[in-house]
Amino acid sequence: MSKRVDVVDLNVYYGDFLAVEGVNMNIDAQAVTAFIGPSGCGKTTLLRSLNRMHEVLPGARVKGQLLLDGEDIYESGVDPVTVRTQVGMVFQRPNPFPTMTIRENVLAGYKLNGARLSKSQSEEIVETSLRSANLWNEVKDRLDRPGSGLSGGQQQRLCIARTIAVKPDVILMDEPCSALDPISTLAIEDLIGELQQDYTVIIVTHNMQQAARVSQKTAFFNIAGTGKPGKLIEYDDTTSIFNTPQEKSTEDYVSGRFG
Amino acid sequence: MTSSLTQSDKRGVAGDRVFSALTVSAGVLILLTLAFVALFLTVNSRDAVYQEDQGGWILTAFFDYAYPLVIGTLIASFIALILAAPVAVGVALYISHYAPPRFSKGIGYVIDLLAAIPSVVYGAWGMSFLGPALIPVYGWLHENLGFIPLFAGDPSQTGRTIFTAGVVLGVMILPIITSVCREIFIQTPKLHEEAALALGATRWEMIKMSVFPFARAGIISGIMLGLGRALGETMAVALVLSPGMLTASLISSGNSTIPAEIALGFPEAPPGSERQAQLIAIGLVLFLITLLVNMTARWIVSRHKEFSGAN
Ligand SMILES: Nc1ncnc2c1ncn2[C@@H]1O[C@H](COP(=O)(O)OP(=O)(O)OP(=O)(O)O)[C@@H](O)[C@H]1O
Ligand SMILES: [Mg+2]
């Protein structure tokens, strides 16, 4: 299953500091949406507010609505824990659980849900998740080795496997390739293309080519200056953003004439 | 022949040498100190196990003397650990992950203050307040659970039992275990905590998934530090306990610990006497127990090294 995400008048704060202001956008299901923009414009902040990870930081809060297939995840009474099981997240730096084996890492989300899995069920989940993360062939002989013993790119794919194992509706990725070499990056980009068939994927990237390669829609964010809130400047089909942007600042940014 | 590669930063090299010499000598100094203590204890405890006029080796006599003290020491320390460790881990977790930031500083400060109280004060508190306060509890335990050997025997009328001593020790080692655990808990990488949260973990599940595995070695070290203090604590136990014969009952008077025995016996033992040698010999035994405890802790910590996250 994959769900549509609608952002309505969203303001995101760190204490009194307004980091992201007035975002309105409709993110398609079963598509890849890229967030681009200069450093500090609030891409990470916005992304983390999509699965209520933002509020984990002390003083951090959100105003506005965020609809997951029409249901507001910020409505009072909504449990952030439930939201996070439906909206998975892959971080900038690979973060497999260091004390767990590769197998346990993949099953970590299941363990949380309290699911009792038979041995064959868990074997199957491990295999399909690792296969969808294009990691199976590399690790099938060492599932009981620690996850931290893999290369950076493999660790990141393990984290993706861990995220898709619990079948979320939306997958958020914050610069998932920024710590990886070009080959691993390509492997993950291919993977994102495949994930799109089953999930809503939202990816933050600093790499224009990557945004152009993997996404159907692109959102460009910008800030007027330091201390000012980040804003959504332009949001359109990726081809339009890169070829016929409507805003001057978008054009400057995607053509590398920024700043 | 000098090339640009064979030349080196002379001052940097000298600094490096000095520093490594310093660290090596510090290490050697510690080993030497340990060796001298061990040597002193061994040499001076000779008379406790070998007496010419009693027909040579008197190991059994010494063993009969020492084993009740060893058991008493272990019991008191064990009670202290059982009581203190869970509380310490809980308090540390509260400070690091639950308390509002404004609060946690204050609580940490109070806990650290507990560590600054001299052990005589704890001893006096145990003897004159905690002991008497526990008398009804001992009475109740004896009446209702008396069939268990631990609570058999006449309940003490002064409350100065091995159990009271264990509780006092527990309070004494609470701060050290708490501080160590808190330090470690705080250092849990945000990355791993968020990994758990993003998978839909509740706060407690996040703690089980990220914080505890990361802190495992640290918790064990903290507990071992506490145990070390409990094993060697003298004043508090000497004041609280009215020493006596070894008994399985925790609530009757009786039992004693090695440090208390040494503290109470040493001033009365004539220098060079067999009695003094005996006291030094049980000191050696305590030294060995502590060594063993620490080595076990190291061993526990070093298992599963690859899974520690240090790589
Ligand atoms: N924990 C925090 N507390 C306070 N302010 C923060 C915090 N994290 C980020 N900010 C501020 O919020 C704004 C947006 O930061 P954010 O990390 O979302 O930017 P970004 O677009 O992801 O940048 P980058 O491309 O460098 O990752 C910045 O001004 C930043 O200083
Ligand atoms: Mg960012």
Q: What is the pLDDT of residue A240?
A: 94
* pLDDT band, residue B6 (cuts 50/70/90): confident
Which residues in chain A touch residue B209, judged by CB atoms under 8 angstroms apart? 97, 108, 112
**Separation in Å, CA of A247 to nearest CA in chain B:** 35
A and B: number of Cβ contacts within 8 A: 78
Which residues in chain A touch residue B215, judged by CB atoms under 8 angstroms apart? none
Q: Does the distance separating the beta carbons of A162 and B307 come in below 8 Å?
A: no
Pocket residue to mutate for ligand 1, from A12, A35, A43, A207, most atoms within 8 A of Cβ: A43
Q: What is the pLDDT of residue A221?
A: 96
Identify the CATH class of B45-308: mainly alpha
ipTM here: 0.90
Give the tens place of pLDDT for each residue, B142-189. Answer: 888 888 888 877 788 888 888 999 999 999 999 999 998 998 999 999
> pLDDT above 90 covers what percent of chain A?
75
Ligand 1 atom 26, closest CA: A39
Please state, in angstroms and as integers, the Cα–Cα distance from residue A194 to each residue in A133, A134, A209, following that order.
Answer: 9, 10, 18
Ligand 1 lining (C-beta closer than 6 Å):
A 14, 17, 19, 37, 39-45, 57, 230
Q: What is the pLDDT of residue A202?
A: 96
Give the tens place of pLDDT for each residue, A8-66. Answer: 999 999 999 999 999 999 999 999 999 999 999 999 999 999 999 999 998 899 999 99
Q: Is the pLDDT of residue A114 over 80?
A: no
Q: What is the mean pLDDT of residues A146-164?
A: 91
**Separation in Å, CA of B219 to nearest CA in chain A:** 15
Q: What is the mean pLDDT of residues B111-130?
A: 89
Please state, in angstroms and as integers, the Cα–Cα distance from residue A112 to each residue in A73, B190, B196, B206, following that order.
Answer: 20, 19, 9, 9
Mutation for testing the A interface, residue in B97, B199, B306, B308 having most A CBs under 10 Å:
B199
Q: What is the pLDDT of residue A148?
A: 86
**If residue A217 lies in a helix (H) or strand (E), which one and from where to where?**
strand A217-223
Q: What is the mean pLDDT of residues A116-135?
A: 90
> What type of residue is B100?
P
Give the tens place of pLDDT for each residue, B209-246. Answer: 999 999 988 898 899 889 988 998 888 888 888 777 77
Q: What is the mean pLDDT of residues A76-86?
A: 93
Q: Does the distance separating the beta carbons of B214 and A99 come in below 8 Å?
A: yes
Give the tens place of pLDDT for each residue, B48-93. Answer: 888 877 777 888 888 888 888 999 999 999 999 999 999 999 999 9
- Any idea which ligand is nearest the CA of A42? 1
Give the tens place of pLDDT for each residue, A182-191. Answer: 888 888 899 8
* pLDDT band, residue B311 (cuts 50/70/90): very low
d(Cα B310, Cα B190) in Å, to the nearest integer? 15
Q: What is the pLDDT of residue B2?
A: 58
Please state the domain extents for chain B.
Answer: 45-308
Q: What is the pLDDT of residue B310?
A: 47
Q: What is the CATH number of domain A5-254?
A: 3.40.50.300
Q: What is the mean pLDDT of residues A199-203?
A: 95
Give the tens place of pLDDT for each residue, B244-276. Answer: 777 777 777 778 888 888 888 888 888 888 888
Please state the domain extents for chain A.
Answer: 5-254
Q: What is the mean pLDDT of residues B185-197?
A: 93
Ligand 1 atom 17, closest CA: A44
